[in-house]
Structure 1
Amino acid sequence: MQHDDVTRAHGTHVVHHGPRQAPPLVLIHGSGSSGASWNPVVPALADRYHVIRVDLPGHGHSSPAPSYGVPEQAGRLAAVLDDLGLPPATVVGHSSGGYVATALAEQRPDLVGSLALISSGPSPDALLPQPVVLRMLIAPPLGPLLWSIRSDAMLRKGVTATCNGPVDVPDDLVAEVRGIGYRTFRTVLRRNTAYIAERSVPDRLTALGVPVLVIFGAADPRWNPSSARRYDTVPHARVERLPGVGHFPMLEAPETTGELLLAFAAAGR
């Protein structure tokens, strides 16, 4: 995908799209992914917003971090946004990227005007038994071996295993996922679980009081789709359930996902 500009700060790879003077919209990918996961929705968003895609620590083109705790990842992102000198942004997180977005708002409410969470499980008990290909890649004893020899086809299968039907997986997403280390991925997953076990995401959002959009695929094989109703209790939250969509709405239903994000961001201006 073509982009307007690439910057690097605090070890973080940042890709900018759209006019710099436009309102900022920050995109945060999930674990085991990269900023390229947003490719299908970026063009529509960049028509109206300064879109900032980041690679989280140890993912994509970003350097590793001493700690992969969710608050620490949010702190690194805050430093990046401080350097950019942006007004409060619409911050969008996919899957565990929603946890980083939430932690950013907890730490630095001055940086976050509104939050959108896509396929972000509310608490550990909402996690479903994972697809076989993911269990094989993640869990020992086979995990480290398969991770070291994984092919492009296996990586694509890992992404599509959490989708509800065939999708076009961006080539740069496959290339960037290949660079994620096994130990990094395992550590990130543990830290994510610790964050939502300490306090559920709906509870955290309720305490924040910022406008929230929650997008959940009604056929998500990773998180129990019925758990999306827990977000209904969050004040100032709108919950959108997408029929027939799995864990990757931006790959499976990019047009609908983009429209929802545009409408939400515009409402907060």
Structure 2
Amino acid sequence: MTSSGASPHDDLHVRQDGPAEAPALLLLHGSAATSRSWDAMVPLLTSHRVIRIDLPGHGRSAGPADGDYSLPALGRRLATALDRVGVRHAVVVGHSSGGYAATALAEQRPDLVRALVLINTGPRMNAFIAPPEQAAFDPAQWPPSDELVRRFASTGFRAGFQVPQVLVDELRQMSLQAVASAMRASTAYLTERALPDRLRALGKPVQVIFGDQDGRWRPSSAADYGVVPDAEIQMLSGAGHTPILEEPARTAALLLAFTRYVPCGDLDGDARIRRDE
């Protein structure tokens, strides 16, 4: 039986698609985005129970009542939301800074996370290459114009890709506090400890997908995840920072191939770097 619907859980907006009895796949968006950023991917993934959550202060989710946007707090809130919808185990997929949310969830509740998939998630701060002016908006210009949003998003997509209007509209509806707080929290999390070190300590199967035209994180930094035992590293040729929108079919195919062998726990050997042509 296939379901599609949305509901609030601990003030987080949760949407579910696909068969309720299928293995769970949790999709987490990045900063200044919403669960709508997965719209092109979801129809390709509904062999699973696909769960999308708007992170605090983004999309239809309220900001945290205590103002705590930190990644450990976010991990606990995500765990509560999964508990309330009856998810016992999930493969957790994070795009961009959503990969930090995925990792924080695994740190807080390793019992819930079967494996992690990180899509264009920067491994450490020295891999960040976007111009400084792209990192924040002027408070005097909030809410931003469509033109300003598109300028901000320019490094988030490969050259020539048209940013969907729905994502522009959703960003304009967010508060500056929510966007800035989430970005600061991600920076603090990554500064405290590099992501490959966090993942190595978790001992979970990991897939890393990286567009080789990423304009925010140095594409060669994907190799930093090679220190994670049995990590699978996939480079997507011609893709920018957001292959979930730029190349949904290719991205979904890589993800689904990974999920097929995750339950077996049979990931042998050293990190594997593959290039998808």
TM-score by length of 1: 0.91
Report the CA distance between 1:131 and its aligned residue: 7.2
CA-CA distance at 1:37 after TM superposition = 0.6
The Cα offsets for residues 30-79 of structure 1, whole Å up to 9 and x where unpaired, read as 00000011111110101x00100110000000001121001111111000
C-alpha deviation, 1:153, in angstroms: 4.1
Please list, as runs of the form range in 1=range in 2, the aligned pairs for 1:1-269 lying within 5 A after superposition. 4-46=4-46, 48-65=47-64, 66-130=67-131, 134-135=134-135, 138-139=136-137, 143-148=138-143, 150-269=144-263
Aligned length: 259
Retained in 2: the 8 A contact 1:61–1:176? no
SS in 2 for 1:215: strand
Root-mean-square deviation (Å): 1.6
Q: Deviations over 1:131-178 (max 9, x none)?
A: 75x25xx15xxx112232x23343344334321123343343223222
SS in 2 for 1:164: coil
Amino acid at match of 1:210: K
| TM-score with structure 2 setting the length | 0.89
**Which ranges in structure 2 are unaligned for 5 or more consecutive residues?**
264-277
Distance 1:131 1:220 in 2: 16
CA contact (8 A) 1:117 1:215 kept: yes
Contact 1:91–1:114 (CA under 8 A) maintained in structure 2: yes
User: Hey, what does 2:269 align to over in structure 1?
Assistant: none
Gaps spanning 5+ residues in structure 1: where? none
Q: Does the 8 Å CA contact 2:157/2:246 hold for their aligned counterparts? A: yes
Amino acid at match of 2:23: P
The residue matched to 2:52 in structure 1 has which SS?
strand
By percentage of residues, which structure has more helix? Answer: 1
